[in-house]
Amino acid sequence: QVQLAESGGGWVQPGGSLRLSCTASGRTDSNSAMGWFRQAPGARRELVAAIGGTGLTHYGDSVKGRFTISRDSAKNILYLQMNSLTADDTAVYYCVGRRGRYPGVRSDDYDYWGQGTQVTISS
């Protein structure tokens, strides 16, 4: 089993930046895909970004050009750098992982989920 723990959530003003981190523990595999999903109030869960075992990345349309996903495989840490934040980015952000290498885009593609961290963007 793999356990994921997010950190770095909080409150920022519109236009600001925030970096989320996710630490994986347990039976981790640095070659497996990881990613971030988010769920805003009243909205469906959506993919934010994913990164595969080869470094291939996939971003949700709403965050392309603003967010960057990266990983430190040696330390089993996943990051999400979020820039130019708007109120629409307010959501609970979940770190996810899967056994496979490919960066899936569906929530069902992932086997492990963190507890979530709240990100709030407001003035």
Residue 103 DSSP class:
-
Encoded tokens for 106: 């569906």
pLDDT in tens, 13-48: 999 999 999 999 998 888 899 999 999 999 999 999
Kindly state the average pLDDT of the residues 79-88. 98
Using a 10 angstrom Cβ sphere, with 0-12 exposed, 13-18 middle and 19 or more buried, the burial of residue 96 is: buried
Structure tokens at 80: 């999400």
Alpha carbons 77 and 55: distance in angstroms, whole number: 14
Is residue 74's pLDDT more than 90? Answer: no
Residue pLDDT, tens place only, 85-123: 999 999 999 999 999 999 999 999 999 999 999 999 999
